[in-house]
Structure 1
Amino acid sequence: MALGMLKKKRDSKMSTDQENENEQNGNQQNGNQQNGNGEDKEKQGGGPPKPVGFLDPRMKHVRRSVAGKWLLTTVVLMIFILGVLSIYWACLFHVDQNLSSLVVYVVDFDGQVAPYNTSGVTPLVGPMITDMARSMVASNEPTLGWGPLPPSAFDYDPIKVRQAVYDFDAWAAIIINPNATALLYSAVQNGNTSYDPLGALQLVYIDSRDDTIWYDFMAPFMSSFMTNAQSSIGSAWTRQILQAASTNTTLLSNIAAVPQALSPAIGFSEYNLRPFYPYQVIPAVTVGLIYLIILSFFSFAFYLPVWMQYLKPEGHPPLKFHQLVVVRWCGTILAYLFLSLAYSLISLAFQINFSGGNPVSSSTEVTSTVDGNLNPDAYGKGTFPVYWMLNFVGMIALGLACENVAMVVGQPWTGLWLIFWVITNVSTSFYDITIEPRFYYWGYAWPLHSVVEGSRHILFGLHSRIGLDFGILIAWAAVNTALFPFAFMFMMYKNKHHLHEYWA
């Protein structure tokens, strides 16, 4: 009986030990399962996972994933920076080689027009100026496109040279007046005290055509050329007259009465046909236009949630898809109409002239910027509506492209698109394409180029290419309108919308 009791007690102990071991194994398995599944027991209990350190073994796969994605993102952004920002840096990379595209006419009328062609005076000023221009071209040094032309190319009419500059045939022109040398001789032979050296030559240009091109690239060369011309001609002329005066006392007394006939002897009268004025117009034709792109770009994010309400069946059925496309397109264009009006009103508010009134309207005369006169706008009292419509069509061309790309690529790539869109437009709009490498000639078809060119014409009364500018912008609007429904459809497909539910 005692043995039986001992055996029963031993079996009971063994059973208890087995239960304890099973419980321990179960607890260990539960612990492993909890560690492997990221604190499942805590989640089931309603509490958040307990934060761990960066080097926790359970964060190993997360660290690898984050490092890989960080590296990939950084490499992509570096490639983008090198590729796209290089477009802007490179646009002026070959300016020295392309300076010759900035044509400067040099037209010698000296002694070529009656009565100075039969006066018996041998021209001095004209031949020396044209020889200087030819030597500049032959120097093989970076220089402007000096182009000596005979007066017959302009029917012996200096005014037609000015017209050529206004018509953008040349960036500037140096005109040697028909009486340039004859007046010099008359001054020293007759003691003409009214002689004005500035009556010998003319410099004609239009800085509002592109103020950056003129002041940064052309003006230094022009200033150097005019200084050298005065020095060379003054030296040659003074030597010639002093030799003659050594045996002619009358000539010597005349020189004393007319010292300006020896120094500086000749000078340049400058005619800036359309001055870049007033200065508050600078944003309207340069950096301010960047905001036209930015406004059209960000309008997508503001208006998209508004249009998408038509697709959410919250108390109403969804709108038919093709009608939604039409409604959204019309709403976007209408928004551009008012946004471009607000943009245009800024220029009006800061007193840029949009109502005519400049006393000079001739294309060959210098417009007045004194006595309160401002920029010589192109269309009088109709200037502002034309300016508004240019900005409106420009915003459609720039904005619909942004809308389509934003719908196709989505976030975060739309930010990269904005950078690309701004850089490619600025590179071919704020600098004249003729001084850029030929790679940039596609910029003639880019929308902002037409907006800048059209704005300069409207605000300064420059040579008109307004029909071409509007045509290019309308073409952009038409192409992006045709792509608009397909881009919208692709966006909905990416967002898992079932398009077949909305087709009528």
Structure 2
Amino acid sequence: MLPSMFRRFYPRACDNRLPLSHPEVRVNRVKFFKAASLNFVLLLLLFFGLFCYMFGSLYQEESRTNNLDILWVDYDGGIIGDAVRDAYKSLQSNSFPTLVERPALEFPSESDLREVVCNTNYWAALYTFPRSSESLGLAIAGSDASQYNPSHILSYIWNEARYPTVMDSLISSNLRALSDGARVAYTALNGTAAFSTIPPNNPAAISAFATPWTLSSINIQPTTQGPRTVYNTIVIVLVLIQDFFYLGAINGLYVQFKIYTRITPTRIILVRDVLSGTFTMVGSLLITCAIWAFRANWNVSGTQFALNWLILWLFAHANFLTLDVFTIWIPPQYISMALISWVVINVTSIILPFDLSSPFYRWGYALPAHAAYDALTDNWSNGCSPHLYYALPVLFAYELSGLFWTSLGVYKRCHYAVITEETTQEAMRLRVEATLKLEREHDRRLGQEHIEESVREDENGESSRADKNAADFIQKARKDKEGEEADRLQAEKDIEELGDEIERMETRATRMANFGPSFHLVGEEME
């Protein structure tokens, strides 16, 4: 039913079909299923490996939470600090950050704590205010209870911009749980004695006893806007895909206009670099505009906008060059596999901090996405994630190596483009010669048939010229016909073999040239 209906729209779709028993179909069928099976296995193994790689980075994430170190400094030296220690003992586990206690002499002031958090030596810093236990005791006893500030007892410093979702769920939430546990521990340690000191009819003292403190937070860069969850995932993926598709468009133009055989390699290199640099510059500007347009109440400045643009530009251009290197030096059938692998390993390097993944994944420090995200975090935090000492060298290393290998690749493509063109011309010449040879054989066969027909008429006639010489001539003509037929079959066989050889020549030349994946542009006229 459906085939007949489809045939009405495309009536020539089933014309000139070969039967399944045809030798050509049998040979191609074997090749087809062999190639399909090989790609079936390769793609399944590739994606299975990529899924395992990505899931492996997230595997047992919670059990590695103890790798997140939090600085703990007790400026008070009283019972509140003891309550925090007791609460940490009850919460301490692989799924809770590690509290690293250091003496107050090492960090004399709050600014020192902020500096170590800024330098990413610790994920956060928890501290008690000086004389906080004394202030709390006086407030409960009714002395200046109305002036008591529960937010000046226990506080922590953190930078939400580093990994916002991780910071919220594993740092801020756990520190609040620790604060709640410390209040319970404080009541257990000092509840009876403190309760006996509460003066009657003093609501402020009762409030201080019921809620001894409220954990306060100093967030270096609050990052609460919704799009923050995709800064280290979809943004990076789209940058990579954007570069790949424009690379394919450029490759298509170079093939369509035969640039590699008409323009000098030096000029091609210059034009390609200008095009790629301009495209990635404008693309990075638009991405940055989108981030800023939906930043909500994110407190970022115009200077940070410019730096964000420059970092994304460097990252995008380095990846454009890297993808171009793939298309030059990797066989065409593996380019798509290389692309998806490059996307997955780059995104995996920034989904989570390396502290929460297996140590194996720390090789991701060498990937451009991780370097770019560290540079972006440093920019968003006004310098409070100072990893530029390695992030910028990594990005520039990809940039410089990409410029070198793509420039060499232009010479390679120009070299093989000339060979491909010469091969095409040679194939055309061979085709013309084969066609002329076949036509000459055809003309000779027609002439021989004409002679034989004339002799046959003389043989059947009543004329006296049908003598022994004519009979010998007929016999010779028949033998010549058989020879001509054999020559014709041999010529057709030679032409078929020549066609196969020409096809192999052209395929080999095209593979050697490897102009990379190419796409037709929107609005391009198809010839």
Q: 1:288-341, CA deviations, whole angstroms, 9 ceiling, x for partnerless residues?
A: 22211111111111111333466459xxx7223344334333332233223323
> Which position in structure 1 is the counterpart of 2:364?
443
Post-superposition CA distance 1:270-305 (Å, at most 9, x none):
222210044445545542222111111111111113
> Paired residue for 2:308, among 384, 387, 397?
387
Matched, 1:434 2:386: no
TM (norm. structure 1) is: 0.72
**Is the Cα–Cα contact under 8 Å of residues 106 and 133 in structure 1 kept in the other structure?**
no
Note if contact 1:230-1:267 (Cα within 8 Å) is conserved in structure 2.
no
Aligned AA (1:483): W
Contact in 2 for aligned 1:286/1:452 (Cα 8 Å) = no
- Kindly tell me: are residues 409 and 264 of structure 1, through their superposed partners in 2, closer, same or farther at Cα, counting changes over 3 Å? same
SS of equivalent to 1:441: helix
- The verdict on how the C-alpha distance between 1:63 and 1:50 changes in structure 2, with shifts beyond 3 A counting, is closer
- Aligned residues, how many? 409
SS in 2 for 1:428: helix
Q: How does 1:465-484 map to 2 (within 5 A)?
A: 465-466=387-388, 468-484=390-406
Which residue of 2 is the match for residue 398 of structure 1? Answer: 319
SS at match of 1:218: helix
Match of residue 291, structure 1, among 238, 243, 255? 238
1:189 matched to 2:141: yes
Which runs of 5 or more structure 1 residues have no equivalent in the other structure? 1-46, 112-122, 354-373
Q: What aligned pairs does 1:16-415 form with structure 2 within 5 A after superposition?
A: 49-52=16-19, 59-111=25-77, 123-133=78-88, 136-137=91-92, 141-155=94-108, 157-194=109-146, 195-242=148-195, 245=196, 251-253=198-200, 258-280=205-227, 282-308=229-255, 311=258, 318-348=262-292, 350=293, 352=295, 374-377=297-300, 380-415=301-336
Instruction: Report the 3-state secondary structure (helix = DSSP H, G, I; strand = E; otherwise coil) of the residue aligned with 1:142.
Output: coil
Residue 236 of structure 1, CA deviation: 2.5
Which amino acid letter does the alignment assign opposite residue 95 of structure 1? Answer: E
The alpha-carbon distance between structure 1 residues 256 and 296, as it changes in their structure 2 partners (threshold 3 A), is closer
What letter corresponds to residue 174 of structure 1 in structure 2?
A: L
For residues 335 and 123 of structure 2, the distance between their equivalents in structure 1, rounded to whole angstroms, comes to 39
What amino acid maps onto 2:419 in structure 1? H
Range moving further from structure 2, 57-66 or 194-203: 57-66
Aligned counterparts of 1:281 and 1:136: Cα–Cα separation in 2: 29
> What do you get for the CA RMSD once the two structures are aligned?
3.2
**By how many angstroms is 1:48 displaced?**
5.9
Residue 65 of structure 1 aligns with an amino acid whose one-letter code is: K
Q: Quick check: 1:274–1:462 contact (8 Å CA) kept in 2?
A: no
- Compared CA separation, residues 308 and 324, structure 1 to 2 (3 A): farther
User: Does structure 2 retain, via aligned residues, the 8 Å contact 1:212–1:431?
Assistant: no
Q: What displacement does 1:466 show?
A: 4.0
SS at match of 1:429: helix
| Alpha-carbon displacement from aligned partner over 1:443-489 (angstroms, at most 9, x marks no partner) | 11211112222223323424143454333211110011111133344
What fraction of aligned residue pairs are identical, expressed as a percent? 17
Deviation at 1:402, TM superposition (A): 0.5
Residue 521 of structure 2 corresponds to: none
| CA shift for structure 1 position 110 | 0.9
Aligned to 1:12: none
Amino acid at match of 2:169: D
Contact 2:276–2:320 (CA under 8 A) maintained in structure 1: no
Q: Is the 8 A contact 1:447 1:472 kept in 2?
A: yes
Determine which structure has the larger helix proportion and give its number: 2
Instruction: List per-residue Cα deviations over 1:174-212 (Å, max 9, x = no partner).
Output: 111112210122123334332333322112222112112
Q: Mean alpha-carbon deviation: is it higher for 391-400 or for 277-286?
A: 277-286
SS at match of 2:304: helix
Give the distance between the partners of 1:239 and 1:273, measured in 2 at CA.
38
SS of the residue 2:155 aligns to? strand
Q: Give, in whole Å, the separation in 2 of the partners of 1:328 and 1:484.
A: 10
Change (3 A) 1:381 1:252: closer
Q: Secondary structure at the match of 1:376?
A: coil
Q: Matches of 2:259 and 2:119 in 1, distance apart? A: 57
Matched residues in 1 for 2:295 and 2:144: separation? 45
Following TM superposition, by how much is the alpha carbon of 1:394 offset from its aligned partner in structure 2, in angstroms?
0.7
C-alpha distance in structure 2 between counterparts of 1:471 and 1:414, whole Å: 27
- Equivalent residues of 2:198, 2:205 under 8 A apart: no
Confirm or deny: 8 A CA contact 1:191 1:257 kept in the other structure: no
TM-score by length of 2: 0.70
- Structure-1 separation of matches of 2:233 and 2:383: 16
Paired residue secondary structure (1:49): coil
Measure the CA separation in 1 of the matches of 2:329 and 2:311: 27
Contact persistence 2:164–2:228 (CA under 8 A): no
Pair 1:100–1:490, CA change in 2 (3 A)? farther
Q: 2:343 — aligned with what?
A: 422
